[in-house]
Structure 1
Amino acid sequence: MTNNRPTFVYDGDCSFCTSCAQFIERRIPTRATVIPWQFADLPALGLTVEQCEAAVQWVGRDGTTAAGPDAIALLLRDAGRIWSVAGSALGLRPIRAAAWPAYQWVADHRDLMPGGTAACAVPQNRQVNP
């Protein structure tokens, strides 16, 4: 699948995720469409519900995908200027190695993050690292 714009997909049922998406839309000048997976055409994007429940997703204009901190890195690189520096840094091997466990911890505890609610909690049986 090809698209004129990249797409960044997040969990619209999570208040913390929605707060982060609103920050992206207000502060990060990406060309990407930022959309909750619940309103996205997942088959057209080449994504599954399972992928979107597990992590944020990036779908490039050429259809390539990335998840979690790799998706965030691509979003930041797309934004240009200082954001691309942060996105490139996130792709560096030592930072990337630490980013995945940090991302997973935040995802597993998103109900405790600023803007998070009890509805954001990931059930214990769905957590990758409970």
Structure 2
Amino acid sequence: MTRRERPLLIYDGDCGFCTASVGFVRRRVPASAEIVAFQDTDLGALGTTRERAAREVLWVDRHGRVSGGAQAAARLLMDAGGAWWPLGAVARVPPVRWIAIGLYRLIAANRHRLPGGTVTCTVPPDPRHP
């Protein structure tokens, strides 16, 4: 894998809720990550798919490893450092990890109902979790 200069946070640029969430991150979370919509990214070159990116936020670290959903958010917080780092670190350790994953899935499944959400925010079904 190619080593990246900066990690990459990939989100659904067609989703109003996701775009608003990324706006918050850009204003408040001092992460080093490049933040891009999956629609503007060569996902195949990053080792992931459009289906996955439409379902969950993705984090691609400097070594090219891809994390998704709650774990992507945790890695973003850890990358930001400072007071954000412990929040991200705790979200990576069971049982908090399991709670974070469940909460992320609940939010993702209902993002079209949340502030800024529209019908285009509806998450496609995850074939791994019927």
Q: TM-score, normalised by structure 1?
A: 0.91
Q: Which residue of 2 aligns with 1:49?
A: 50
Q: Which residue of 1 aligns with 2:79?
A: 78
Q: Which residue of 2 aligns with 1:58?
A: 59
Return the alpha-carbon distance in structure 2 between the equivalents of residues 118 and 54 of structure 1: 14
Whether contact under 8 Å (1:108, 1:127) holds in the other structure is: no
Give 1:1-130 correspondences, 5 Å limit: 1-122=2-123, 126=125
Whether contact under 8 Å (2:54, 2:123) holds in the other structure is: no
Shift of 1:121: 2.2
Percent identity between the aligned chains? Answer: 41
Equivalences, count: 128
Q: Give the unaligned 5+ runs of structure 2.
A: none
Per-residue CA deviations over 1:25-49 (Å, capped at 9, x if unaligned) read 1110000001110001212222211
Considering fraction of residues, name the structure with more helix: 1
Q: TM-score, normalised by structure 2?
A: 0.91
Return the alpha-carbon distance in structure 1 between the equivalents of residues 19 and 101 of structure 2: 20
Shift of 1:127: 5.3
Structure 1 runs of 4+ with >6 Å offset: none
Corresponding residue SS for 1:8: strand
Return the alpha-carbon distance in structure 1 between the equivalents of residues 3 and 53 of structure 2: 19
Corresponding residue SS for 2:62: coil
Return the alpha-carbon distance in structure 2 between the equivalents of residues 100 and 93 of structure 1: 10
The 1:29/1:82 distance shift into structure 2, 3 A limit, reads: same
Comparing 43-52 with 62-71, greater Cα deviation is found at: 43-52
Return the alpha-carbon distance in structure 2 between the equivalents of residues 92 and 105 of structure 1: 19
Q: Tell me the amino acid that sits aligned with residue 48 of structure 1.
A: T
Q: Tell me the amino acid that sits aligned with residue 105 of structure 2.
A: Q
Q: Give the unaligned 5+ runs of structure 1.
A: none
